[in-house]
Amino acid sequence: MENELQNILNPLLASMKVLVAYDKLGCGIRANDLCDRLTQHLAPTCQLQLSFWSLSALQLPLLARAAEDEATQTDLLIIAVNGDEALPPSIKSWISRCTRRLRSHAGALAVQLHGILRMNQELSPTYKCLKHIADDAGMHIFSEVVEPTCDIPDGSIESIHKRAHMRSPVLETILSLH
């Protein structure tokens, strides 16, 4: 899988398609932050083409099929969800179908688990489920935990700039293969 991921993140690529599926707006925003940091490290040679899908929208069959068709052309699927909540069966099925398609063209799966402690990742029902789906598809899963915080994010330009330059374990792994 490492060689396949290196091909996906080849600096000669003009663009990389990323599909983000998120359960809550805050999770989608943090997944976007990850994409922003990835973009900074790949720019200017490679640009990310981002697509965001709410898990609630993906429970509708018509929208789930549209997102699944889009996943056929995706290089990186990011699932950004609460780590303590079980995924609905329809979402599990959607992720499973998408990961099989990702595997067929050397895509990658990254998971952001929100609202849990890093040390509890292996105990998370969501992580266990997504790990099982990735294993069934024959893919490696890249994961990151976004621990709960009592702090309300500072919206100042300085704070945003500082967060944009933070490196997460998922980003570090992806960049080390680059």
Confidence of residue 173 (pLDDT cuts 50, 70, 90): low
Task: Give backbone dihedrals phi and psi of 61, rounded to 5 degrees, phi first.
Answer: -55, -40
Greater confidence (114 vs 11) lies with 114
The H or E element containing residue 71 is helix 61-71
Q: Which of 168, 178, 177 is nearest to 35 (CA)?
A: 168
Distance between CA atoms of 87 and 77, rounded to whole angstroms?
A: 16
Question: Is the model's pLDDT at 95 over the cut of 60?
Answer: yes
- Averaged pLDDT for residues 144-169: 66
Amino acid identity of residue 167, one-letter, is R
The count of other CB atoms within 10 Å of the CB of residue 37 is 20
Mean pLDDT of the chain: 81
pTM score above 0.85: no
Task: Give the dihedral sign, CA 4/175/113/73.
Answer: negative
* Cβ partners under 8 Å of residue 50, min gap 6: 18, 20, 32, 35
Q: Report pLDDT digits (tens) over 118-143.
A: 888 888 999 999 999 999 988 888 88
| pLDDT computed for residue 141 by the predictor | 85
Distance between terminal CA atoms of the chain? 13
**What pLDDT does residue 44 have?**
76
The secondary structure element, H or E, covering residue 173 is: helix 169-177
Q: In the prediction, which pLDDT does 166 show?
A: 60
**What confidence tens digit (pLDDT) does each residue in 4-60 have?**
333 445 555 678 889 999 999 999 999 999 888 888 877 777 788 999 999 999 999
pLDDT of residue 60: 93
Which pLDDT does position 1 carry in this prediction?
A: 25
Helix (H, G, I), strand (E, B) or coil at 78: strand
How far is it, in rounded angstroms, from Cα 97 to Cα 102?
9
pLDDT at 106 over 60: yes
- Beta carbons of 6 and 38 less than 8 angstroms apart: no
Confidence of residue 155 (pLDDT cuts 50, 70, 90): low
